[in-house]
C-alpha cells in the first residue's frame, strides 16, 4: 500500500521511508502555515475578529495587555494552523493506518469544539465562551469516540500491548486492561483523562505570544521519536519497550504538527499578529495526548509536556485553594506564566516582573530539558 495521496505520482521506494515523509510533512506544514497565515490574518482583521483582553478576572492583566497593544489582535489563528496540519498529514501519512485516521478525526473534532468556543466569545457580548461543563462535554464525546474506536481495533487485531499501561523504569512490566470489559472501561477512562487533560493543559498555557506553539514543537518532536521507536520491533526489543504495530506512522503526523506550529509561530511570536485561540489549542493538546497513547508513554507525558501540566496544575490548585480557604490565593496568579509576568514570583510578589519574552523563552528551555530527559528515560529500564 502506498502512503498518502501520492500513490500514483511518486516512486514508492522513497515514500516507503517514514523518516523522509516525516521531514516532508514538517516542511509542508511549515509552508502551508506561512502561506495561509497572511490571508487569514487579513480576513480576520477585515471582519474584526479580534481578542477582547478585558474578558479576564484580572484587572492588572487586562491593563497590561491593553498597554502592550494586544486589544483587538486577530484571534482564531488556530484555524489556519490546524488546516495546515490536516492537509500536510493527508498528503504524507498513510491513510490506511488507523492510528493516523483516528488522530485526524480527534483533531478535527476538538477543533470544532474550540471553534464554537471562540465564536461565542467573539459574537456574544461579555461572554467568555462555552462554559467549562459544555467544553468538557464536547471534548468527552470526541475523545471517548476515538479512544473507543482504538479499543475495538486493538481487540479485533489482538494488539494487547496497545491496551496496556507501561510504567517507566521497569523492564517488561505492564498492566493489561484488554482482558475484560471492566478493564476496557478503565482503559477508555484512562485514555479520556490523557487526551482531554492534555487538551485542557495546552489550552490553559496558550496565554502569551509564542508560548503554546513553541512548547508544542518541542513536546511533539519528542513524542514523534517515541512513536517511531514504538512501531519498530527491533528497537523496542532492545530497549524493553512495548511494540505497537504501525505506531511509527504517527511520527509523520508529529512532523506535520511541528512544521505547522513553526509556521504559526512566525506570526505568533512577540509581538503577536494573531492569537491561536481555542480552535488551535484544544486540538493540538488532544493530538499530543493521542500520540502519547499510541507510543505507550502516557505515564511519561507529564514529563514530556511538563510546562503544560505545570500550568494546568497551577490553575487547578489555585481554584481549589481559593474555595477551601475562603478567598485566599496559593499563587500570586494562575496560570504561573501570568504570575511571573505581573508579580515576578509564583508564591510571593516583590521580585522584578519578567518580560513576556523572558517567560516564554525560559519556559521553552525548561520544556526542551524535560523532553530530552523523557527521551533518555526510554533507555532507563
Q: What sign does the dihedral 366-358-62-278 (CA atoms) show?
A: negative
pLDDT digits (tens, 9 = 90+) for 50-85: 777 666 666 666 676 676 767 778 889 999 999 999
> Cell numbers 530530552 label which residue?
372
Cα separation, 371 vs 292, in Å, equals: 13
Q: Residues 115-146: pLDDT tens digits?
A: 999 988 888 777 778 888 999 999 999 999 99
What sign has the CA pseudo-torsion 34, 218, 200, 357?
negative
Angle at 251 between CA 248 and CA 256, to 5 degrees: 150
pLDDT digits (tens, 9 = 90+) for 343-380: 776 666 666 788 899 999 999 999 999 999 999 999 88
Q: Say how far apart CA 100 and CA 85 lie, in whole Å.
A: 12
Which helix (H) or strand (E) segment is 17 a member of?
none
Q: What pTM was computed for the model?
A: 0.93
- Would you list the domain boundaries of the chain? 12-300
Q: What is the mean pLDDT of the chain?
A: 90
Predicted confidence (pLDDT) per residue in 139-173, tens digit? 999 999 999 999 999 998 888 899 999 999 888 78
| φ, ψ (nearest 5 deg) of residue 319 | -65, -45
Amino acid at each position: 500500500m502506498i502512503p498518502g495521496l501520492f500513490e500514483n505520482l511518486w516512486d514508492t521506494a522513497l515514500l516507503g521511508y517514514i523518516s523522509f515523509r516525516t521531514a516532508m510533512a514538517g516542511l509542508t506544514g511549515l509552508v502551508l502555515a506561512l502561506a495561509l497565515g497572511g490571508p487569514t490574518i487579513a480576513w480576520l482583521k477585515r471582519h474584526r475578529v479580534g481578542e477582547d483582553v478585558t474578558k479576564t478576572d484580572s484587572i492588572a492583566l487586562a491593563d497590561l495587555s491593553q498597554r502592550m497593544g494586544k486589544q483587538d489582535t486577530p484571534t482564531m489563528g488556530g484555524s489556519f494552523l490546524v488546516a495546515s496540519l490536516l492537509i500536510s498529514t493527508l498528503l504524507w501519512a498513510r491513510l490506511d493506518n488507523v492510528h493516523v485516521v483516528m488522530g485526524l478525526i480527534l483533531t478535527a473534532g476538538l477543533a470544532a469544539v474550540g471553534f464554537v468556543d471562540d465564536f461565542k466569545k467573539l459574537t456574544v457580548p461579555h461572554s467568555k465562551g462555552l462554559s467549562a461543563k459544555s467544553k468538557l462535554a464536547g471534548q468527552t464525546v470526541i475523545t471517548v469516540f476515538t479512544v473507543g474506536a482504538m479499543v475495538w481495533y486493538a481487540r479485533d487485531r489482538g494488539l494487547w500491548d496497545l491496551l496496556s499501561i507501561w510504567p517507566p523504569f521497569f523492564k517488561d512490566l505492564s498492566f493489561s486492561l484488554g482482558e475484560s470489559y471492566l478493564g476496557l472501561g478503565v482503559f477508555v477512562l484512562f485514555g479520556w483523562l490523557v487526551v482531554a487533560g492534555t487538551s485542557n493543559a495546552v489550552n490553559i498555557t496558550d496565554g502569551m505570544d509564542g508560548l503554546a506553539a513553541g512548547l508544542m514543537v518541542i513536546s511533539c518532536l519528542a513524542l514523534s521519536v517515541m512513536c517511531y521507536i514504538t512501531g519498530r520491533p527491533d528497537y523496542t526489543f532492545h530497549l524493553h519497550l512495548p511494540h505497537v504495530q504501525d505506531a511509527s506512522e504517527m511520527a509523520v503526523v508529529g512532523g506535520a504538527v511541528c512544521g505547522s506550529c513553526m509556521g504559526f509561530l512566525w506570526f505568533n511570536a512577540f509581538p503577536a499578529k494573531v492569537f491561536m485561540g481555542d480552535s488551535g489549542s484544544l486540538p493540538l493538546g488532544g493530538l499530543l495526548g493521542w500520540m502519547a497513547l499510541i507510543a505507550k508513554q502516557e505515564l511519561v507525558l507529564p514529563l514530556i509536556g511538563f510546562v503544560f501540566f505545570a500550568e494546568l496544575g497551577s490553575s487547578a490548585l489555585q481554584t481549589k485553594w481559593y474555595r477551601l480557604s475562603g478567598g485566599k490565593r496559593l499563587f500570586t496568579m494562575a496560570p504561573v506564566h501570568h504570575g511571573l509576568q505581573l508579580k515576578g514570583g509564583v508564591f510571593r510578589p516583590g521580585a522584578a516582573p519578567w518580560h513576556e519574552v523572558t517567560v516564554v523563552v525560559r519556559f521553552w528551555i525548561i520544556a526542551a530539558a524535560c523532553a530530552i530527559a523523557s527521551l533518555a528515560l526510554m533507555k532507563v529500564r
